[in-house]
Amino acid sequence: MRILVVTVVHHPEDARILHREIATLRERGHRIVYAAPFAAREVAPRPYVEGVDLPRAVGRDRRAALRAARALLAERGPQADVVLLHDPELLLALPGTLRQWRRAGRTPVTVWDVHEDTAAALTMKRWLPRPLRPPLRLAVRAAERLAERQLRLLLAEDAYQRRFRRPHPVVANLTTVSPEPPEPPGDDRVVYLGHLSQARGAPELIEAARLLAPDFQVEVIGGADPDVRGALTEADRDGVLRWHGYLPNDRALGLLSGSLAGLSLLRDQPNYRHSRPTKVVEYMAHGVPVVTTPTPLAADLIERYGCGLVVPYEDPVTAAQAVRHLRADRLMRRRAAVRGWEAALSDLNWADRATEFVMCLESWVKEASAAQDGDPAASVPGDPARTA
């Protein structure tokens, strides 16, 4: 298949997009054109994909990115078998584009990969005026219903099914797990992997690191929102923590093994209540005991598998105490690490789901081809018999 992958929001090195989905499609022999904000993020396309640079959609002004995306879709879409979209913003570029494709007689299978609960996430957009958030939530829900009628959908979480009228395939945010047991956890290094923001607990992370210094080295890996960059830079300068900044997922994961604990200090936000934090699965996969706030799916992993400790929201003191407890109890630390890795290998391994992801796209292309050839049995987008 020829697949056009498009994002104007996500980092071009996004783990889900590049390191899981695109990597899997390439392994199966499919050809990829990857359109993303490479220049804006100061990264080059990987040599194994054809990269197309797009402006980055950020803050209130997203018009340039949408114009560029619309032009790209009009030009390159008809050359593809599948167009795989990763941002809700791109839905705005589709109405006219779909009409163009139909007039040209070449409409690719168009898929929206639903990464998050977009309407719930609006509450965390500091650049969005509060009075606009309720009407925009309604507009997002309406756009989702329209997308369900026009496109194919992939969901990153089972809970996202509730937002839609028909069932859709779930491609969960998992990670690739080595079958070889990881390095045992040490006793003096703590890690955080992921984007940093107020809602993701950056202030609590910095304070916990301050409480742990100088007995522990806290390594922080990830880009940051502007309102927390100053505090992170200051903490790094003062030796409270080491902030690596953004690293590609393959490099970032290499820093996890051997850590005493992995931190996930998300605050209690609607968008996090039905999403599994990918960082928690990544810690488990690398044999790192988890210290997490009680977001429901993260807490469920800890309770089900015994792979770490749950601490209250916005409580850096208890988070630091949990790290010290893991250090003091070597048996507990080793047991949590082994249980986490075993659970990730058996239940949360991307390698077990990758084939399902590819087969889903391949089956949709076959159905679209049959429909164009006049097969009355071919389904339409959203047909539960074909998408479940």
Categorize the per-residue pLDDT at 126 as very low, low, confident or very high, splitting at 50, 70 and 90: low
Q: Which CATH superfamily is domain 189-347 in?
A: Glycogen Phosphorylase B; (3.40.50.2000)
Q: Domain locations in the chain? A: 2-174+352-387, 189-347
Q: Do domains 2-174+352-387 and 189-347 have the same CATH topology?
A: yes
Pair of tokens at residue 331: 């048996």
Give the largest Cα separation in the chain, rounded. 70
Predicted confidence (pLDDT) per residue in 306-335, tens digit: 999 999 999 999 999 999 999 999 999 999
Predicted confidence (pLDDT) per residue in 204-253, tens digit: 999 999 999 999 999 999 999 999 999 999 999 999 999 999 999 999 99
Instruction: Using the predicted structure, report yes or no on whether residue 200 has a pLDDT greater than 50.
Output: yes
Q: What is the pTM of this model?
A: 0.89
In whole angstroms, give the CA distance from residue 109 to residue 118.
23
Predicted confidence (pLDDT) per residue in 161-171, tens digit: 988 889 999 99
Contact call for residues 5 and 18 (beta carbons, < 8 A): no
Pair of tokens at residue 187: 């006793």
* Alpha helix segments (H runs only) across 277-349: 278-285, 296-305, 316-328, 330-347
- pLDDT of amino acid 336: 98
Q: Which CATH superfamily is domain 2-174+352-387 in?
A: Glycogen Phosphorylase B; (3.40.50.2000)
| Mean per-residue pLDDT, 82-101 | 90
- pLDDT of amino acid 219: 98
Instruction: Using the predicted structure, report yes or no on whether residue 172 has a pLDDT greater than 90.
Output: yes
HSE on the CB side for 81, CA within 13 Å? 15
